Structure 1
Amino acid sequence: MLVPLTAGAVLLSAFLARRVRRPLLPPGFLRRPSRALGLTGILLASAGTGVVTFLLSLYLQQQHHWTPLATAGAFIPFTVVLIATSRVAGVLVGRFGAARVTTAGLLTGAVGLALLAGIDPGTTFALGLLPGLVLLPAGASLIFSGAAVLSTADVPAHQTGLAGGTMNTAMELGPTVGLAALMSVAATQTDTVTGYAWAFSTAAAAVYLAAALAALALNRRTTTARRDPS
């Protein structure tokens, strides 16, 4: 296992170290703090929603023996909240700013994942899963709306396509990278359900909260700069 990981790290380093005259993705494009935060937020939101739907589908069918149809129905509240929150997220971005809305989304999503981290073989849907399945999509919608603005703010006209491409890449990478990383976390536990709980708590405590702190710092720096333009 270490051999392919090492080889991948070496090849990635060689790729990043290579210098070309007109790169498809200029390194400086990602150095803007607000853009980096926005793309990170999109990646985390897509990763969190993708991982939760995958792991909880397994949990409901394997631990509670739900049918595939009943399992699909369990995610109806998730979908409804995701759509409903997205309808008001744009208004919130216009009123409070993209950084604040992204921060609120990360914190809300972290709480939702933390609630799901309490699952065990006897967890009920209504009291044990539903609260997390409501808070996480609410947070994800806020993240997507705020992060989209952060990712595309002040992009030169000739780089608008690049901005859209990086956003789509972050959204596609999220579930792939998130599932691989968190399944590795889950695999450290001998009990399957305990592994799922560890995966949720890692995503909530270590990643979402860290990104929320970064968003808070960015928002504070931006507010200070506006008050003291000198």
Structure 2
Amino acid sequence: MASTSAPPDLDSDSRDLRDRPDLHDRPGQADASDHLVVDEGTPWTSRVWLLVFVLGAVLFLDGLDLSMIGVALPETRAALDLDPSAAQWLISGYILGYGGFLLLGGRACDLIGRRQVFLAAVLVFGVASVVSALVDVGSLVVLLRFVKGVAAAFTVPAGLSIITTTFAEGAARNRAFSIYTVCGASGFSLGLVAGGLLTEISWRAALFFPGPVALALFALGWKVIPHSVSDAFSLRRVDVAGALTSTLALLLLVLTVVRAPEAGWGAPVSLAGFAGAALLMTAFVVIELRHPHPLVRLGILRSPELVHANLAGLVMFGGYAAFQFLVSLYLQEQLGWSAIGMALGFLPAGLIVLGSALRIDRLLNRADTRVLVAAGLTSFSLAYGWFLLARPEQSYVRFLLPTMVLLGIGFAILFPAVNAQATAGVADHEQGLASGLLNTFIQVGGALMIAVVTAITATAGAGRAADPTRLPPGMVPSIAVVITLTVAGLLGTLVLLGRRPRVVTGDAPVPAEVTRS
């Protein structure tokens, strides 16, 4: 969807994006960053590159923080005297805050302004990181991890919607997308290396490191992110009930899954938990249908491509987060790998993702995103399958390296593809909603799958002796579930490939070729 006006003059580095008159606050008008300012023919000046760098670096930091705690988990758990089920909340607490508030974060961007939301959330993230490294109470660290997840829930849709409303759909946006999304995928992968290095110093260093970086990005973002303002703001336009019911539904569902192995899956408390989560989600849908300014305009889900991108994101990150959680503990606690050794073992995946940063946009320009999703999920399926068949006594080249290479290829292809597909053809005023919806599915997948594999591992491995030449008893069915989820996502993608693509613009779906004219 190309801009109908000539692209603005961005050739001179002496003109900061903040100084453009069409990007300043305009009371009573829509967010100024809704105006497309970089088209296919617009050269990228240092100011534009700096803007993309800040947005990508914050997304990188979000992924980095999640991966680092996975590496530091054994030492952090021991230092804070947390049992395994409680320790998983150091990861799940972050993911719950992230996934539970993404919809509200996306809507806040559309109502309050992208710049305001982005900078405030980065600041909270930085401060919470510093404080979490200074306390010794496990429950307080978990709470601060949740706060950081909530902050990330506001930075992600804000950053993504700044990109989608600053770069015209097509080659310019795909280029920005490729850099931005590769930053996020690299954060998940390279965070393992950073976590390993920092954990060698102290588990506190792993918690502290994101803080100063976030504060530095806040200062830089203050200078380069275009000013924006929403329409007249009113609390009546904020769907508080929708935010509360969706977040509580997710929290109750994950909590029930985590506790079900101990209480019993058919126990009254477990059944009540599942029923309560279902009722809360039903209430959320009813609220969205009746609220004049819903958190999620349900009509946006009429597009099969948008729904598919969301589900593919859930499958992608759900499987990967669960796999990383299992393997991180297994390599360090049972095979005796050091934190840095485990991090270096995961390094090839991060290097592949990082190396794709300036090339993946060519695929986005030329290939159907559904084909790219299928290719990415295929690579993920093969990665998990190889690990399930490998043996711990094998050399690294046969045991772990093939899995890491396949995961790197899968992430490099899949992460940008789902982001591009989820936001293509969506009206500018709903870009925050679309990006928030996608990332909600991604984080919900992570939270649920970590809870599921934790429960399976505890149940399947109870009372069974481990064979040092094979994977632990509880780990095999857990990874089998991850493979099943990923293959199901792949099959669904192949089915969708046989259908005519449609995207949503406004209130109704229209053929994709109409919106991409």
Structure 1 length normalisation: TM-score?
Answer: 0.86
Call closer, same or farther: CA 1:86–1:176 in 2, change over 3 Å.
farther
In 1, Cα distance between equivalents of 2:394 and 2:300? 45
Larger mean CA deviation between 108-117 and 10-19 belongs to: 10-19
Match of 1:5 in 2: 274
Name 1:199's counterpart in structure 2: 478
The whole-number CA distance in structure 2 between the counterparts of 1:221 and 1:71 is 43
Q: Is the 8 A contact 1:119 1:197 kept in 2?
A: no
Q: How many residues align?
A: 224
CA distance in 1, matches of 2:475, 2:395: 15
**CA offset at residue 60 of structure 1?**
0.8
The sequence identity of aligned pairs, in percent, is 27
Question: Of residues 4, 15, 19 in structure 1, which corresponds to 2:284?
Answer: 15
| Residue 98 of structure 1, CA deviation | 0.7
Structure 2 unaligned regions, length at least 5: 1-269, 467-471, 502-510, 513-517
Residues 122-161 of structure 1 deviation map (CA, whole Å, 9 limit, x = unaligned): 4543212221121123112211121112101110122112
Relative distance call for 1:76 and 1:110 in structure 2 (3 A) is: same
**Greater shift in the superposed pair: 93-102 or 9-18:** 9-18
The corresponding residue for 1:216 is 494
Whether contact under 8 Å (2:312, 2:489) holds in the other structure is yes
Q: Which has the higher contact order (CA 8 A, sep 6+)?
A: 1
Partner residue in 2 for 1:172: 443
Change in CA separation of 1:54 and 1:37 when aligned onto 2, cut-off 3 Å: same
Equivalent position amino acid for 1:7 in 2: G
Question: CA offset at residue 121 of structure 1?
Answer: 5.2
Paired AA for residue 445 in structure 2: G
Q: What corresponds to 1:40 in structure 2? A: 311
Post-superposition Cα deviations, 1:32-54, rounded to whole Å, max 9, x if no partner, equal 11001111122222223322222
- Match of 1:194, SS state, is coil
Q: Identify which range, 44-53 or 70-79, moves more after superposition.
A: 44-53
Shift of 1:28: 1.7
Question: Which residue pairs with 2:326 in the alignment?
Answer: 55
In 2: Cα distance, 1:4 partner to 1:21 partner: 30
Greater Cα offset, 9-18 or 126-135: 9-18
The answer to which structure has the higher helix fraction is 1
**Correspondences of 1:69-218 after superposition (within 5 Å):** 69-119=340-390, 122=393, 124-190=395-461, 191=464, 193-204=472-483, 206-218=484-496
Instruction: Give the gaps of 5 or more residues in structure 1.
Output: none
Point out the structure with max Rg over C-alpha. 2
Secondary structure (helix, strand or coil) at the match of 1:222 reads coil
CA–CA distance in 2 between the matches of 1:185 and 1:26? 36
Q: Deviations over 1:165-223 (max 9, x none)?
A: 2233233323212211232333341257232222222212x211111122122222127
Taking the aligned partners of 1:134 and 1:120, their CA distance within structure 2 comes to 17
1:203 maps to amino acid: V
Structural RMSD (CA): 2.3
